[in-house]
Amino acid sequence: MLKKIEIESKTLQEAEKIAVESLRIQLDKIKFTVLKEKKGLLGIGSSTLYEATPNINLAIEGKIYLESILQTLEIGSRMEVRTVDDGNEIYYTIDSDENALLIGREGKTLLSMQYMLRNYLNTFTEGHLIVGLDIGGYHENRKRQLEILATKTAKEVAQTKIAVKLDPMNSYDRRIVHTKLSEWRDVITESEGEGENRRLVIKPKL
């Protein structure tokens, strides 16, 4: 999961410089392990093979990152962290007296924070890390509302055989609707439009 690189160098200082540039993280967050020592003749040509990897706990690192944002905004909060699938999925929930500010209009501020958090944590990993962020139960409530809308609209489309265009949605909301209806036999979902006008169309399955 965490990135690993091998570095052969004459000195640890040289290996540290290469690791910082390659991993693009601070030196104090990198762990070095000696894999092999190559001894040259009379000390000439000697080198060491190091393995460098981030020396962090991803879930805790994400918590620290979010706390730094909240401290900058001078917002007190309560935060919970939950990991799933041996740490391949990390979910954060925040509650504060400024939930509305952190969520933003149509959840845009929340989505931006989630995007930044995901990008930050993925700088430490080789594979794809799933990161979720919810504030004041917004995503949970939004998911419930969208699933109700999806089910109601799908029933209508299945009965009338007439396609229905939903209002424009962000990619997160579209994914919720698409997932909810992915196993329906009578309807299919397709995306159309660009940018902020991108929406889902629920169509009868022919």
Full residue range of the structural domain in which residue 66 is found: 58-136
CATH number at 65 reads 3.30.300.20
Closest CA to 178 of 170, 195, 96: 170
Claim to verify: residue 84 and residue 153 sit in the same structural domain:
no
Claim to verify: residue 39 and residue 95 sit in the same structural domain:
no
- The letter for the amino acid at 41 is L
Of the residues 100, 115, 136, the one at which a domain ends: 136
Give CA–CA dist 146/126, Å, rounded: 33
Contacts 24+ apart (CB under 8 A), 113-118: 113/66, 113/69, 117/62, 117/65, 117/66, 117/92
- Under a CB-based contact definition with an 8 Å cutoff, are residues 14 and 20 in contact? no
Claim to verify: residue 169 and residue 130 sit in the same structural domain:
no
CATH number at 188 reads 3.30.1370.50
Element containing residue 102 per DSSP (H, E): helix 99-103
Each residue's pLDDT expressed in tens, for the chain with a length of 206 residues:
789 999 999 899 999 999 999 998 899 999 999 999 887 666 667 899 999 999 999 999 999 999 999 999 999 999 999 999 888 899 999 999 999 999 998 899 999 999 999 999 998 998 888 999 999 999 999 999 999 999 999 999 999 999 999 999 988 899 999 999 999 999 999 999 988 899 999 999 88
- Under a CB-based contact definition with an 8 Å cutoff, are residues 129 and 58 in contact? yes
Domains contained in the chain, number:
3
Residue 24: Cβ within 10 Å count: 10
35: tokens are: 């894999």
- Token look-up 């905004």 returns 73
Phi, psi of 144 (to 5 degrees): -65, -45
Give CA–CA dist 6/109, Å, rounded: 39
Give pTM, 2 decimals: 0.77
Claim to verify: residue 39 and residue 75 sit in the same structural domain:
no
Residue 179, SS3?
A: helix
Of the residues 136, 155, 172, the one at which a domain ends: 136
